[in-house]
Structure formats: C-alpha cells, structure tokens
Amino acid sequence: MKYTRRDLVKLGATAGAYLALGPKSARGFPSQEAVVTKPIPFSGEEIPIIGIGTRSYNTGASAEVMEQFRGTLKTFVDMGGTVIDTAAGYGRSTSETVLGNLIAEQGTGDDVFWATKVDREGRAEGVARMEGSFEKLHQEQVDLMQVHNLRDTSTQLGTMREWQQDGRIRYIGVTSSSARAYDAMVATIQAEPMDFVQINYSIADRSSEHILRMCGEKGIATMINLPYGRGRTFERVGDTALPDWAAEFCGSWGNFFLKYVVSHPAITVAIPGTTKPHHAEDNMNAARGWMPDAAMRTRMEAFFDAL
Ligand SMILES: NC(=O)c1ccc[n+]([C@@H]2O[C@H](COP(=O)([O-])OP(=O)(O)OC[C@H]3O[C@@H](n4cnc5c(N)ncnc54)[C@H](OP(=O)(O)O)[C@@H]3O)[C@@H](O)[C@H]2O)c1
C-alpha cells in the first residue's frame, strides 16, 4: 500500500522518518528529528505544529520572485510541512491561484492540508467565492474553510456546515488577527459550533490568551497567525545573541519565537508567513526537537520582556 504524507501524519508517523532532509542548521540544531504533530480535537487527526502563511503570494510577481515562491513551497513540503493557509482575498485575490498551480506542478496537492477563507456578505456571494477557491486550488475538497475576519459569520458558517455534510469541506472555522475583534470572536465561539479558530498570538503579543483558553475548554483547534508579530519579534531582539540555554533547543530566533507559540497547550498549529526558502526551512526546524515546558515558556517570556 502506498501512503501519502497525509496518511502518515494521520497514522501518527512523523516526517523526519521518511523525508529527504536538508542540511543541518547552525549550532547543529536537530533538523533530522521527527516533525512534532498535534491532534485536531474534533477528529483526533494529527497535523504538524508548523504550517505556512501565504498572504504575500500573488500572480503579479516577477519570474524571479515566482521562482522564490516555488522554492519556498518545495522546501516547506520537503521538510514535512502540510498545513498551507491562504485566503480568497490574498495577493489581490490571486494567492490561491499561485499556490494551487505551484503545488499541482510539484504533484503534492493530496498531501497538503489546505486552509482558506471566505470574505463575502450574503449566501450567494459567499458560495461564489468558495467555489472559486476549489477551482483555484485544484481541489474537490478543502480541509479547512474559514470565515475571514468574522465577515457575515453566521451566513457563511451555515453554507460551510452544509458543504461539510456533503464532504466538500472537512473542518470549518473563523479568523481574526486584531484585538479589536476579540469581543466579537468570544461571542462567536460561544454561539457557533466550529472546529478551528484562527487568531494572532506571539511572544510579543499574548493578549489573545483568553480566547486560546476558551478554545482549549471547548475542544476547538487553534491556528496561530502573526506568530512573529509581522516580523516585530525579530526587530525587538535585533542583534542580541540567542542565549545558551535557548540554543539547546533552538537553532535561531525564529525557532525561539515559534517554539514559544506552539508549546502553548491550547495551540494546535502556527502559520508563519514566508516567501523565502531558507525561512521555510528555519520555520520547519521549529517543528522538531524538544518543546518548551511551562517553566521554560516563563523563562522565554521574562527574557523577551526584558529586552
Ligand atoms: N485575519 C486573518 O485571517 C489573518 C491576518 C493576518 C495573517 N493571517 C495569516 O497568517 C500568516 C502569517 O502572518 P504574517 O505573514 O502577516 O506575519 P508573521 O508570520 O508574524 O511574520 C511574517 C514576517 O516574518 C518573516 N519571516 C518568516 N519566517 C522567518 C524566519 N524564519 N526568519 C526571519 N524572518 C522570517 C517574513 O519575511 P519573509 O517573507 O522574507 O520570510 C515576514 O516579514 C499570513 O501569511 C496569513 O496566512 C491571517
């Protein structure tokens, strides 16, 4: 029997065992270790704790940049990544087209856990937008369909639930990345059954803790956007050296920030955005090796807060 990568992930196997591995990163960080997975509470399906965010992918890119997109996605998949987060609205509504075409070209579409989003008012507009996602991604089934920024949530979730029954969508959810929407997010989680919540969280901005706690209690999977605070975490550390105690389990500051996020007990997966192959490799390295426990997370916070 031939297993796809997704089958292996579902079976609890880990990517490190069967992937061609890239070169070791600085400090001999363990790029050869297995990719850590976490279960989606609703189903128990295991997914890698690091995915990729793709809001900057677009068809208007130069040939050189398109080659960079191609290399980034290939590195991501080769390193054991499966969760790709996009949206009908990203890249002037062309991110899904770029991703669908590049992944089809690489022949790895069946292995991807596709997460996308709908951003329309009303049932008819939402249906048309979501139909467009299936077409652009070249998929008959989307793994996770999300209401983008809580726009017309009840209507769009209603359609999604019907399509979930029909098997066109596997999981449904809602997204936000703004503290201004937290009250609405809390009200939505209380009112609407769903499988996933996508929300911002990073070591620099921990203000969505109450939403994470709520999702943990309700058995809702969480997908974390802005795990680098749109790059602000890197600006904060500047040229500060990674402390020795962190270098024992992190090969870079990127690993430090991502491991902090995905070691939160209520977090299922983080989706750092990148268009660079070496960043995709660095990010997937954060899915490997030892993960911080509660005491280490406190130490990481104290170090970062003191900068
Ligand atoms: N409301 C919503 O639903 C919502 C809102 C915002 C974001 N999102 C999703 O979340 C994803 C992530 O958000 P984001 O991309 O805005 O912010 P982010 O992940 O916090 O930060 C991305 C920034 O970090 C850089 N970066 C990535 N990996 C790096 C590494 N290993 N080392 C150093 N720099 C690195 C990227 O640059 P390079 O490109 O040069 O690597 C980019 O400048 C989005 O792509 C999108 O899929 C959803």
Distance from the alpha carbon of residue 167 to the mean position of ligand 1, in angstroms = 30
- Tell me, using a 6 A CB cutoff, whether residue 253 lines ligand 1: no
- Tell me, using a 6 A CB cutoff, whether residue 227 lines ligand 1: yes
**Ligand 1 pocket mutation pick from 68, 86, 146, 228 by most atoms within 8 angstroms of CB:** 228
Q: Which helix (H) or strand (E) holds 106?
A: helix 95-106
- Tell me, using a 6 A CB cutoff, whether residue 14 lines ligand 1: no
Q: Is 234 in contact with 228 (CB distance < 8 Å)? A: yes
pLDDT at 22 over 50: no
CA-nearest residue for atom 13, ligand 1, is 226
* Paired tokens of 147: 């209401």
Could you tell me the pLDDT band of residue 33, with boundaries at 50, 70 and 90?
confident
- Tell me, using a 6 A CB cutoff, whether residue 216 lines ligand 1: no
The predicted-structure confidence for 93-145, as pLDDT tens digits, reads as follows 999 999 999 999 999 888 999 999 999 999 999 999 999 999 999 999 999 99
pLDDT on residue 19: 36
How far lies 266's CA from each of 63, 87, 90, 224, in Å? 40, 24, 27, 11
Could you tell me the pLDDT band of residue 27, with boundaries at 50, 70 and 90?
very low
CATH class of the structural domain 5-9+49-305: alpha beta
Q: What is the mean pLDDT of residues 231-235?
A: 97
Average model confidence (pLDDT) across the chain: 91
Neighbouring CB atoms inside 10 A of 72's CB total 23
pLDDT on residue 228: 98
CA-nearest residue for atom 25, ligand 1, is 231
The predicted-structure confidence for 285-304, as pLDDT tens digits, reads as follows 999 999 999 999 999 999 99
pLDDT at 20 over 50: no
Q: Is 184 in contact with 199 (CB distance < 8 Å)? A: no
Question: What is the share, in percent, of the chain residues with pLDDT greater than 90?
Answer: 88
- Tell me, using a 6 A CB cutoff, whether residue 85 lines ligand 1: yes
Could you tell me the pLDDT band of residue 26, with boundaries at 50, 70 and 90?
very low
Expressed in angstroms, the distance from the first to the final Cα of the chain is: 53
The predicted-structure confidence for 55-107, as pLDDT tens digits, reads as follows 999 999 999 999 999 999 999 999 999 999 999 999 999 999 999 999 999 99
With 0-12 / 13-18 / 19 or more C-beta atoms within 10 angstroms meaning exposed / middle / buried, residue 11 is exposed
pLDDT on residue 157: 98
Annotated domain spans of the chain? 5-9+49-305
